[in-house]
Structure 1
Amino acid sequence: MTNKNIYQEIKENDFYKVFLDEKADKSPIANMTISTQIHELSKGLETISFELKSQVREQHGALLSQATHAGRLDVALNTVSGDVERIQATAHRLKNQLDSQYSLIENQTRVLGNLHEVSHVLRSCGNLLNLTQKLKDTKDVLKQASIHFELEPLIEDSDLNKIDFIQEERAYVIGSRQKIKNLAQMQLVNGLKERNELQVTNTIKIFINFQTLDVSLDNLVTTFIAEIDQSLKECFSGTDISAFNSGAAQIDKLAPNNRSPGGGGGSSASSRGPGKAPLLTTTQNFRAKLWKSLHWLIYDELYEYCEQIILLKKSLEEVNQLSRVSDSEISIEKKFWKSLEDLFRRSFKECSAHISQALQEGLSKLLSSARGLQMRLGSAFVFDDGIFEPLEVGYLTKCAANMKACLTGVDLPSNETVDTFIRVASTELSAAMVDTNLANKVANVFNSCSKDFWSKMEAQIKLGTDSKQVVDIPNIPQTQNINLANILFYHSDSVKRMIWNLGENFCKSETAEIVLKSLQQGEHLVQAILQQLMDSMISTIGIILLSMHREPGLNSEKISTTGPSMYMKELQEFIYRAWNNHAVPFDDKVTTCKCGEQLAIRCIDLFVNNLVILRPLSLAGRNRLKNDCIFLESALKTIAPNLAELGKPFRLLRAMSSLILQKPEELIEHSIEKESPVPSYVILFLLFGHGGMELQSPHTAANWSNERLIQWLEGHTSEREKLELISGALQRYRDITRRKNTTQYDPVYPHLSSYFEKALQSLK
């Protein structure tokens, strides 16, 4: 049995599994006695022992060989162990030698370091003494500042603070540095005040040497803002600060020990001291002082500060060309202006109620001073519009109240009402002209009030049958409409005169455009009143022109051709009477003229449309119609004096006076171009007029009356639709001719067909 078989036998035996595996089932040995278990275990051990002995016997040679090698290995290990011990002894000996040398070098290095520190301290002391002596011998402040720049690290050196023999020199340097700083601060203020650029530049160089430029400039801006804040408070308290010299307090504020109360002279100190009650008399007197002080503060005092900041910026840029200056230093003007704007925002927000009301109502004065300052500075500094926005609501409310007061309680405005309204609006717009944004908002307020005016007027306009009749003289509703239209025109004309009176610059401004654009609503009301009259006139004109189809003698050769037709006489009389009675009384001649031109164009269209469908006509009748064209020109000059400005309609009327006499052969030679004043359908209708009775006109073929055709032509302006109507008449004629088996067409038909095809081709 091989060792593998013994292993498998023991592993698979249920008895031995219990001892080999803790999780195995214990039941196989549960019923066995102790002796039996011992016997089985002994048997297994004997089997394993026998197997081990067998394997030893089988591997006896190999085991002896390994034992020999183990002996040799043990001898080698002993030899190596001796060598390691000798190496360790050598290493300990070398370590002791290195440690002694390292300790020696370490001690010498420490001594050398101490000597170096002493040498550095002595050298620093020597430099301090030399620079201090040089400082004492130098009288130029700028050179002294350069020396202090070198002395700064020496004075701040903590090691030198422990040296007794240089304490006197250190104290002298520290005292000299403070004196130069104070002197430089004073020279900066004086240089800015006196506009001495060289002095300011030198002072900046001193600050750079002391490395205090940022702090000094920030302090300067803070001082300026504090002074302006104090001036604002004095303005709001009713003090006339224009009597004081604000610049005199700058040096005092930078040198607190020398500052006098209130920053001014002794005579004014009591009136400007904190806690003093303002010397108020009346509200009007207080506001007069308020605006006088605010104007002086913004226009004069702020100008001085801004000029100083501009000079400071220029000096900084000059110094920057020689030495590096940070961006924050160069943007000193931005710091100052931002702080100033923040101050104004805060002051306007936190001021008392009566001051806020005064500022809101007088915003235009405030903006006038602000824009005046900007112009005086050449737009170097520009106020943000957001600063004054909180005040705009109150100002616009006041403007709206003043304007609406002119219309309050007035149901039917008159010219006097308009005069009062325009006078108030002119005052408000004139005051707001100082600022474009404010002027635009006031203009919108004016437009809103104008809408109320137009609403009142619109409510009084009469619409209906009584207001449309044009047969007789104007009745009461029409007279009232004319008066309303004239008041509307008076308002529009007054607004335009107001804009002109406000100056040429205002006429070209955006504000003027806003106001003028709003006038369209009033013009629309006038047009609505006129339009119902024009519609009534054109309706009557259409009826009169339709009567030409009943004009006697147009097919007779005995008719007189020297005067106008009866319908033309009636038309002339009606146009003259209706226009003079109902249109001339309107004062708005521009709108009336436009309505007259539109009326003339409609009259020409109706005349031409009726003229071209007249049949039958004799030569005398055609001559009479030619004269009617000339008489119509004369009649239309009443409503449109310059007929040539009508363009194509006028040229069409002129052309009809010759076309009515032309033969078919001449008519078809007429141009079909789009620029031609005579549409192709007019030529085709005229050609129908030269045909026989079997060649029916398009509306006759469609079983339409003359009136229906005229209405259809008015509602269908497309040339293609008109040609389609004519096409139906031609097709009907061809069908009738074929049914009658007639071999010849009407002599006009070939001309009609040919011209019709050309007209269709021109539309493609």
Structure 2
Amino acid sequence: MDAKDVCVEIENDDFYSKFLDESVKPLINENISVTEQVTKLALGIEKLGKSLEKQVLAKHNDLLTQASHFSDLETTLESVQSQVQSLLRGAEKLKDRVHTPYYALENQTRMLERVQTTCNLLRHSSKILALWNKLEGVKDNPAKEAIILFELNELTGDYDFDGIELLQEVLREVQHRRKELLANSTEALQTSLLNGDKTKLLQCFKVFHNLQCTDEQIKNTVQSILNDLKKEIATALNVQMVSIEVKKSSSGRMAPGKANIMNAQDFKIKLWDNIEKLFKVEIYNSCTKVIMLQNVINELHAIGNFRNIAKNFWSNLLVTFANELERSPLNVSQSIEIDFPKLLKCFNDLLSRLKCKDLEMNRSSLTKWENSFLSKSLGKLLEPVRSMWHLSQVPNMDQIDNAIRVIAEALSISLGDKQLSISLANSVAKSIKQMNMEAEQRLSMDSDVAQIIESPTSSQQKNADLCNSLYYFSSQIKRVLVNMNSMLPPESIQIVQNSLKDISSMPILQLFAESIKNSLYIILMTMHDESDLVKADDPSGKTLSCSPYMKELQQFVSRCKDIYLSMFQEKPALNECCMNISVACVERFMLHVCNVRPLSKYGRVKLQIDCKHLETALSPLVSDMTELGDHYRQLKALNLILEKTPQEIAKSQSEGASLPYSLVMMFLFSHAGPQLLAPHTCAGWNIQKLVQWLDTHKNERERLEFVAGALQRYQNHVRQNQITTYDEVYPVLVQLLEDGRKSLKK
């Protein structure tokens, strides 16, 4: 049987396989007796032995070759082992040759080091003794004594002088002298700060500088000042001590039944007395000490982080004050919130007294109380505004005056602090916005809100009253700003003024203005129905009156001003509204005058009279017509061209008349014959359609082209009908058209 087959047979046999498992101990099969098991094991061993013999016989040459190789390997290993032993002996000899000089060099180096140390000790001892002798001669000069003591301290710190009896007493005395000098200088520092003796303070810091302990002394001094100040702040804000003082001061003068009420007020007064005294005395004195420290250090030109002593102290002071305030009882914190401007005034007054450019108010640590104060201030500002609006009623003057008083108080309590003033100005702006919003919500926008036929309706009267209330509110605030102009920051004034820009009667007045203008347009439209404008009579020597439509216009304007516009008290808005109506009336009047067809000489004289009466008609709206500017000049120019010939009109235009070329050309068509049709007649429009077109086409170039179309049509008509001569006005119109186009290119 092949060896491989024997192995497979043993591995697959249940009995033999148990002996192949290395991790588990084979168990004797209870079904087979011990004798049978031994016999089977012997049989298996025999099979394996025969298999091994077969393999040995089959591979005997290879086995012999390997056995010879083992002999060669043993020989080689023996040779290597002898060489290794030889190498170890050589390394041992080399170690002895290296170690011997190394140990000798090490001993010599140690000896040299000890010699050098000894020399240094001797040299330092010599210097110490020399400086000690020198120290004896400078007892009356602390600055020089400090220099010598610092050098001695540096020398003694480099080496250990224990055991040198010659120096022991000297070193002890040096340490004693240094401590004594430092203690005396520290005491002198405190005394100098208390007395404000800058010269003595300078000497102290020279000692500290020479002892190289300036930084430590400054930190200790400033921290000591800050700790003392912290106690003073805590005492000033101590509600129990304040209450005791209040009771002591009030025990003999108040009735028992009123004690609580009076004590609350007295407590507030006493608390602020303590705070004001704290700033005027304790904090001021502490700050002056630190500033003196800063100035002395600056004079010494000390190197280090000594340029921000006062600035850092001030920052720590603010934080300390805020922390103590945070730990104070609720009623103290509430008093600070209510009267926060007083606290800011204490800080600002303190800074003014100190006059130190390095100190500035950093209110970040006081943000909590400032925000609370601003929140309450905003509530106080909004409360009278909201309370005056009940249902749909219009607020009365007393209610508005109350709101103005609150606003004036809010602006006045911020005087002296720019940032607080700006914050309160923003709160005032919010109250103004609230006032305007409340009024806008109550304005009526019914269909009859702009009627000008009957007497003012209740809606119109209510709108006018609302506008007048807003105007009174706005004007009173402006008066307050004028009175405080020199005290309030420009930024605060600008914030409040900007919030007032939205308050105006103009939106409601504009509704009336549109209604009035529309009625005026209708009245002016009747100009074309006046029979006097086409009369062939000679006007010379006759006394003529204005046209009926002008009389109607005059009555209408006067009525509107007296009945409707007079309800409003805001003069700036009212003047703007009246100016708007007047300008529109003048524009529309000139447009109609220049487009009346036909127009006789008699009619031109009538229109001249109407021009003059238009000024009278508009006088209720505009007391001085010159305020209309270009429109007034154009009205005067129109009055003049009514009596001129076309040639004279063209000449005046070339000389710089104020009327637009398009308007003058439209007027000149009234001097032409029936063949030269007016522009709107050529277009097949009536006068109403012409006015609509001109309202939407105010550009002078478009209007000139509109007139040019009528001239081109007339020219085509002449050519088609072979008419030998043009209308005498035609050349004038052509020249004006050319001049008008040139003027647009300039």
Shared fold, TM over 0.5:
yes
Match for residue 304 of structure 1?
A: 285
Give the direction of change, closer, same or farther, for the CA distance of 1:736–1:283 in structure 2 (3 Å limit): same
Give the direction of change, closer, same or farther, for the CA distance of 1:232–1:106 in structure 2 (3 Å limit): closer
2:698 corresponds, among 717, 721, 725, to: 717
Q: Secondary structure at the match of 1:745?
A: coil
Aligned counterparts of 1:611 and 1:99: Cα–Cα separation in 2: 133
The answer to whether the aligner puts 1:554 opposite 2:518 as a matched pair is no
Whether contact under 8 Å (2:415, 2:487) holds in the other structure is: no
1:446 corresponds, among 405, 422, 428, to: 428
1:428 offset after TM fit, Å? 1.3
**More deviation, 303-312/645-654:** 303-312
The answer to whether the aligner puts 1:531 opposite 2:515 as a matched pair is no
1:427 offset after TM fit, Å? 0.8
1:602 corresponds, among 560, 578, 584, to: 584
Matches within 5 A, 1:335-350: 335-350=312-327
Scaled by the length of structure 2, what TM-score is found?
A: 0.78
Q: Secondary structure at the match of 1:553?
A: helix
1:162 offset after TM fit, Å? 2.9
**More deviation, 416-425/731-740:** 731-740
The answer to whether the aligner puts 1:630 opposite 2:612 as a matched pair is yes
Whether contact under 8 Å (1:187, 1:199) holds in the other structure is: yes
Match for residue 300 of structure 2?
A: 319
Aligned counterparts of 2:159 and 2:275: Cα–Cα separation in 1: 54
1:286 corresponds, among 264, 267, 272, to: 267
Match for residue 366 of structure 2?
A: 388
Q: Secondary structure at the match of 2:306?
A: helix
Give the direction of change, closer, same or farther, for the CA distance of 1:690–1:114 in structure 2 (3 Å limit): same
Give the direction of change, closer, same or farther, for the CA distance of 1:672–1:483 in structure 2 (3 Å limit): farther
Q: Secondary structure at the match of 2:190?
A: helix
1:345 offset after TM fit, Å? 4.5
> Residue 692 of structure 1 aligns to which amino acid in structure 2?
G
Whether contact under 8 Å (1:649, 1:677) holds in the other structure is: no
Give the direction of change, closer, same or farther, for the CA distance of 1:160–1:662 in structure 2 (3 Å limit): same
The answer to whether the aligner puts 1:377 opposite 2:354 as a matched pair is yes
Deviations 1:712-757 (A, max 9, x none): 2222211122122212222332333344333333221222122112
Give the direction of change, closer, same or farther, for the CA distance of 1:485–1:130 in structure 2 (3 Å limit): same
Aligned counterparts of 1:437 and 1:741: Cα–Cα separation in 2: 86
1:517 offset after TM fit, Å? 1.0
Whether contact under 8 Å (1:561, 1:623) holds in the other structure is: no
1:280 offset after TM fit, Å? 12
Structure 1 residue runs without a partner (length 5+):
1-32, 42-91, 245-278
Give the direction of change, closer, same or farther, for the CA distance of 1:405–1:168 in structure 2 (3 Å limit): same
Aligned counterparts of 1:465 and 1:330: Cα–Cα separation in 2: 74
> Residue 649 of structure 1 aligns to which amino acid in structure 2?
H
Matches within 5 A, 1:376-525: 376-378=353-355, 379-409=357-387, 410-411=389-390, 412-506=394-488, 509-523=490-504
Deviations 1:584-640 (A, max 9, x none): 342211211121112111111011001100122222211111121111122222211
Q: Secondary structure at the match of 1:160?
A: coil
Match for residue 128 of structure 1?
A: 128
The answer to whether the aligner puts 1:169 opposite 2:170 as a matched pair is yes
Give the direction of change, closer, same or farther, for the CA distance of 1:589–1:106 in structure 2 (3 Å limit): closer
Deviations 1:237-259 (A, max 9, x none): 13789x99xxxxxxxxxxxxxxx
1:387 offset after TM fit, Å? 2.7
Q: Share of identical aligned residues, percent? A: 29
Aligned counterparts of 2:326 and 2:126: Cα–Cα separation in 1: 61
**More deviation, 676-685/115-124:** 115-124
Give the direction of change, closer, same or farther, for the CA distance of 1:554–1:148 in structure 2 (3 Å limit): same
1:123 offset after TM fit, Å? 4.1
Give the direction of change, closer, same or farther, for the CA distance of 1:228–1:603 in structure 2 (3 Å limit): same
> Residue 124 of structure 1 aligns to which amino acid in structure 2?
H
Whether contact under 8 Å (1:240, 1:290) holds in the other structure is: no
> Residue 361 of structure 2 aligns to which amino acid in structure 1?
F
1:653 corresponds, among 629, 632, 635, to: 635
**More deviation, 555-564/696-705:** 555-564
Aligned counterparts of 1:116 and 1:448: Cα–Cα separation in 2: 85
Q: Secondary structure at the match of 2:726?
A: coil
2:557 corresponds, among 545, 564, 575, to: 575
Match for residue 692 of structure 1?
A: 673
> Residue 707 of structure 2 aligns to which amino acid in structure 1?
I
> Residue 549 of structure 1 aligns to which amino acid in structure 2?
H
1:643 corresponds, among 625, 640, 647, to: 625
> Residue 402 of structure 2 aligns to which amino acid in structure 1?
T
Q: Secondary structure at the match of 2:544?
A: coil
Give the direction of change, closer, same or farther, for the CA distance of 1:109–1:574 in structure 2 (3 Å limit): closer
Matches within 5 A, 1:662-701: 662-671=644-653, 677-701=658-682
1:115 offset after TM fit, Å? 5.1
Match for residue 238 of structure 1?
A: 239
**More deviation, 210-219/556-565:** 556-565
**More deviation, 544-553/193-202:** 193-202
**More deviation, 352-361/409-418:** 352-361
The answer to whether the aligner puts 1:333 opposite 2:310 as a matched pair is yes
Match for residue 27 of structure 2?
A: none
Give the direction of change, closer, same or farther, for the CA distance of 1:34–1:239 in structure 2 (3 Å limit): closer
1:421 offset after TM fit, Å? 0.4
1:290 offset after TM fit, Å? 2.8
> Residue 401 of structure 1 aligns to which amino acid in structure 2?
G
The answer to whether the aligner puts 1:207 opposite 2:208 as a matched pair is yes
The alignment yields a C-alpha RMSD, in angstroms, of: 3.3
Q: Secondary structure at the match of 1:694?
A: coil
> Residue 457 of structure 1 aligns to which amino acid in structure 2?
A
Q: Matched residue pairs, number?
A: 634
Match for residue 157 of structure 2?
A: 156
1:399 offset after TM fit, Å? 0.8
1:749 corresponds, among 730, 735, 738, to: 730
1:172 offset after TM fit, Å? 2.1
1:112 offset after TM fit, Å? 6.7
Match for residue 358 of structure 1?
A: 335
Aligned counterparts of 2:678 and 2:109: Cα–Cα separation in 1: 133
Deviations 1:397-433 (A, max 9, x none): 2112212221344323221111000101111111122
Whether contact under 8 Å (2:443, 2:463) holds in the other structure is: yes
Matches within 5 A, 1:583-602: 583-602=565-584
Aligned counterparts of 1:343 and 1:451: Cα–Cα separation in 2: 39
Deviations 1:11-57 (A, max 9, x none): xxxxxxxxxxxxxxxxxxxxxx999x99xx9xxxxxxxxxxxxxxxx
Q: Secondary structure at the match of 2:450?
A: coil
Structure 2 residue runs without a partner (length 5+):
1-56, 66-93, 246-259
Whether contact under 8 Å (1:563, 1:627) holds in the other structure is: yes
1:157 offset after TM fit, Å? 4.4
Whether contact under 8 Å (1:374, 1:380) holds in the other structure is: no
The answer to whether the aligner puts 1:612 opposite 2:594 as a matched pair is yes
Aligned counterparts of 2:113 and 2:433: Cα–Cα separation in 1: 94
Deviations 1:209-229 (A, max 9, x none): 221111111112212222222
Q: Secondary structure at the match of 1:669?
A: helix
1:281 offset after TM fit, Å? 7.9
> Residue 317 of structure 2 aligns to which amino acid in structure 1?
L
Deviations 1:671-709 (A, max 9, x none): 369x85311111111111111122221112222221222
2:715 corresponds, among 730, 734, 740, to: 734
Whether contact under 8 Å (1:471, 1:578) holds in the other structure is: no
Aligned counterparts of 2:362 and 2:509: Cα–Cα separation in 1: 49
> Residue 340 of structure 2 aligns to which amino acid in structure 1?
L
Aligned counterparts of 2:276 and 2:426: Cα–Cα separation in 1: 27
Aligned counterparts of 2:520 and 2:543: Cα–Cα separation in 1: 23
